[in-house]
Amino acid sequence: MFKKYKNYKLYILGFFVLLATFNYLFFKAYKDRKLIQYEKLKVQKNLHIDKLEKTLSYYYHNSKEFNFIKEKDIKIKNKLDTYSLKKIRTNLWFSKVQGNSTAYVSEHKESIILTTATGLIFSIKKNELSDDTRIKHKLIQSNISDFIFNKEFYLRSNIGIKDTLVNKNFLYLSFSNEIKPNCFNVGILRAKINNQFLEFKKFFSSSECMSASNAKYKFFSNGQSGGRLQAYGKDILLSHGSFSLFEEVQDPKSIFGKILLITDDGKSSKVFSMGHRNPQGLFYDKSKKIIVETEHGPNGGDEINIIQYKKNYGWPLASYGKHYKGQIKMNEYYPLPNEHKGFETPAKFFQKSVAISQIISVPKKYSNKNSDIFFLATMKINNDYGNEINILELEFVDNKFYIKDIIPINERIRDIIYSDSLNSVIMFLDSSASVAILKKIN
pLDDT of res. 36: 77
Sign for the pseudo-dihedral over CA of 98, 99, 103, 104: negative
Alpha-carbon gap, residue 91 to 15, rounded angstroms: 66
pLDDT of res. 32: 75
| pTM (predicted TM-score) | 0.89
The CA distances from residue 62 to 57, 141, 158, in Å, are 8, 10, 21
CATH superfamily of 72-440: TolB, C-terminal domain (2.120.10.30)
* Nearest residue to 324 via CA among 358, 277, 356, 281: 277
pLDDT of res. 182: 94
Please, are residues 122 and 108 in contact by the beta-carbon 8 Å criterion?
no
pLDDT of res. 98: 86
pLDDT of res. 372: 86
Q: Which helix (H) or strand (E) holds 271?
A: strand 269-274
* Nearest residue to 348 via CA among 286, 271, 356: 356
Alpha-carbon gap, residue 424 to 119, rounded angstroms: 26
Alpha-carbon gap, residue 30 to 24, rounded angstroms: 10
User: Which amino acid appears at position 167 of this protein?
Assistant: N
Alpha-carbon gap, residue 71 to 424, rounded angstroms: 17
Alpha-carbon gap, residue 429 to 286, rounded angstroms: 27
pLDDT of res. 269: 96
**Spans of all domains in the chain:** 1-59, 72-440
DSSP state of 381: -
pLDDT of res. 80: 85
pLDDT of res. 37: 75
> For each of the chain's 442 residues, which pLDDT tens digit applies?
555 555 666 667 667 667 677 667 776 777 777 677 777 777 776 777 677 777 778 778 888 789 999 999 999 998 889 999 999 999 998 888 888 999 999 999 999 999 999 999 999 999 888 766 678 899 999 999 999 999 899 998 999 999 999 999 999 999 999 999 999 999 999 999 999 999 999 999 999 999 999 998 889 999 999 999 999 999 999 999 999 999 999 999 999 999 999 999 999 999 999 999 999 999 999 999 999 999 999 999 999 999 999 999 999 999 999 999 888 889 999 999 999 999 999 999 999 999 999 999 999 999 888 888 999 999 999 999 999 999 999 999 999 999 999 999 999 999 999 999 999 999 999 999 999 999 999 7
Cis upstream peptide for 252 (omega within 30°)? no
pLDDT of res. 190: 98
Please, are residues 240 and 186 in contact by the beta-carbon 8 Å criterion?
yes
* Nearest residue to 378 via CA among 272, 280, 312: 280
